[in-house]
Chains A and B, each alone.
Chain A
């Protein structure tokens, strides 16, 4: 029940009617302004990037402060859970370790051989450069975008369009950079596209986010590759943003028109992430000085005549 109750009858004063009219005009104006802003943001979605990074700067320290005790509690709960079935887990891991011993030897040999061969062939590779390690201090829980807030910003050297990784794999890329906080677009966001390679076949694919837990695997490239459930996908390094060979996702479903993959890491329970420089930054284009538009010869003549 609205309070104070609306009077169904009775005369309203002229003043009241004026105020009601003013309110209605303000509402119409508000709707019109909002529609205009919406059209503007359709025209150029990056127009409000500065505002968004400002909001990130505002919110991130708040959550960073509040989440410190929460993280402790979570960690404590995790370590209690670890005690259950500890013996069984240790036996399983010991068995696995013996199994992998031989593989590890082979892997080390292959690595060594690879290094030697690369040295013989004089392969030059761009090096990966770390910008910093930052704590995750917020996220979008809305349904519209999937992003995380990290506690590093432009004063730490973060720029838009840099890869963000965790130990287990790729997280996403930086989008809006504030002075102390940065918004990271996660792999699962609708506008996220990551060029990947299927480890088993070595053929390229594209990972497409769709705001759902799983990602779409787009295989419609030139090489027409196929995937199986359990195939691992790693970054291919195409586009020069993400360094090649990072674990990104695992294929979990191949029915339907597009295979689906689960991201290797989700940012829940992740405390820290690494921000790196783009692996191979795009070549700087030759700088174009904006030349003044040449005026029409007739206009020049007229101008001279006027002078």
Chain B
């Protein structure tokens, strides 16, 4: 927390503040790293690489919403756009909206266990990819939905592993 206004701090205090609060950027670093992992060379005929970054954003929004404010979706999404080759701004636009949707749905859907969370994630991930598909078709050349559908299926399938990874990050690096 800032206790002194930023413009009243000395340079030394500012450096100290940044050094003390670098952990606030861990969620963004992890998500951008996930986007980089998604460029792993795998030439399957249809994309089988899950959308790990989106899954992590979902987990953060569900379990630790205070660590990931909605506006951080813009820089993370832009990094993803540049790395993955989607029209620049597509993920950047959809990630903040996605977080808002998750927060809204989370408050309105009751679930018992983590399996409930998994089932809850299925329609939300599907809606995200559908929206991305329409947006990309609107901005660039239209393409069939099948590749995105296989990616959505892969994303849903690796949810437990991503959740496990997320829990480990929280244990090790909790800001």
Among residues 164 to 199 in chain A, which have CB atoms less than 8 Å away from a CB atom of chain B? Answer: 183, 190-191
Which of the residues B65, B138, B143 comes within 8 Å of A144, measured between beta carbons? B143
Q: With both chains docked as a complex, state the minimum distance between the C-beta of A258 and any C-beta of chain B, in angstroms.
A: 13
Which residues of B sit under 8 angstroms from A48, Cβ to Cβ? 82, 88
Compute how far the CA of A67 lies from the CA of B140 in the bound complex, rounded to whole angstroms: 32
A2 & B136 in contact (Cβ 8 Å cutoff): no
Q: With both chains docked as a complex, state the minimum distance between the C-beta of A124 and any C-beta of chain B, in angstroms.
A: 38
Among residues 18 to 52 in chain B, which have CB atoms less than 8 Å away from a CB atom of chain A? Answer: 36, 38-49
Which of chain B's residues has its CB closest to A26's CB?
A: B71
Which of chain A's residues has its CB closest to B83's CB?
A: A55
Which of chain B's residues has its CB closest to A183's CB?
A: B85
Which of the residues A31, A33, A142 comes within 8 Å of B151, measured between beta carbons? A142
Compute how far the CA of A35 lies from the CA of B94 in the bound complex, rounded to whole angstroms: 9
Given contacts A45-B87, A139-B43, whether A2 and B100 have CB atoms under 8 Å apart is no
Compute how far the CA of A47 lies from the CA of B89 in the bound complex, rounded to whole angstroms: 12
Contacts A/B (CB < 8 Å), 27 sampled: A2-B62, A2-B63, A2-B64, A2-B65, A23-B71, A29-B71, A30-B92, A31-B93, A31-B97, A45-B87, A51-B88, A55-B83, A59-B36, A63-B39, A63-B41, A67-B41, A138-B40, A142-B38, A143-B147, A144-B136, A145-B86, A148-B41, A149-B39, A190-B143, A191-B141, A211-B147, A212-B146
Given contacts A30-B73, A213-B46, whether A145 and B85 have CB atoms under 8 Å apart is yes
Which residues of A sit under 8 angstroms from B36, Cβ to Cβ? 59, 62
B interface, CB within 8 angstroms of A:
36, 38-49, 62-66, 69-71, 73-74, 77-78, 82-90, 92-93, 96-97, 100, 106, 132, 135-136, 138-144, 146-148, 150-151
- A2-B65, A42-B138 provided; 10 other pairs, C-beta below 8 A? A3-B64, A30-B73, A37-B78, A38-B89, A41-B89, A141-B44, A142-B84, A144-B86, A191-B140, A267-B43
Which of chain A's residues has its CB closest to B97's CB?
A: A31
Which of chain B's residues has its CB closest to A266's CB?
A: B43
Which residues of A sit under 8 angstroms from B142, Cβ to Cβ? 190
Contact with B along A65-90 (1 / 0, CB 8 A): 00100000000000000000000000
A52 at the interface (CB under 8 A from B): yes
Which of the residues A4, A38, A141 comes within 8 Å of B93, measured between beta carbons? A38
B84 & A30 in contact (Cβ 8 Å cutoff): no
Q: With both chains docked as a complex, state the minimum distance between the C-beta of B127 and any C-beta of chain A, in angstroms.
A: 16
A144 & B85 in contact (Cβ 8 Å cutoff): yes
Compute how far the CA of A64 lies from the CA of B21 in the bound complex, rounded to whole angstroms: 34
A2 & B39 in contact (Cβ 8 Å cutoff): no
Compute how far the CA of A54 lies from the CA of B94 in the bound complex, rounded to whole angstroms: 24
Which of chain B's residues has its CB closest to A66's CB?
A: B40
Q: With both chains docked as a complex, state the minimum distance between the C-beta of B128 and any C-beta of chain A, in angstroms.
A: 12
A154 at the interface (CB under 8 A from B): no
Which residues of B sit under 8 angstroms from A39, Cβ to Cβ? 89
Among residues 150 to 168 in chain A, which have CB atoms less than 8 Å away from a CB atom of chain B? Answer: none
Q: With both chains docked as a complex, state the minimum distance between the C-beta of A42 and any C-beta of chain B, in angstroms.
A: 5
A59 & B84 in contact (Cβ 8 Å cutoff): no
Which of chain A's residues has its CB closest to B139's CB?
A: A42
Compute how far the CA of A55 lies from the CA of B32 in the bound complex, rounded to whole angstroms: 12
Q: With both chains docked as a complex, state the minimum distance between the C-beta of A294 and any C-beta of chain B, in angstroms.
A: 39
A38 & B88 in contact (Cβ 8 Å cutoff): yes
Which residues of A sit under 8 angstroms from B74, Cβ to Cβ? 30-31, 33-34
Which residues of A sit under 8 angstroms from B96, Cβ to Cβ? 27, 30-31, 34
Q: With both chains docked as a complex, state the minimum distance between the C-beta of B132 and any C-beta of chain A, in angstroms.
A: 8
B85 & A142 in contact (Cβ 8 Å cutoff): yes
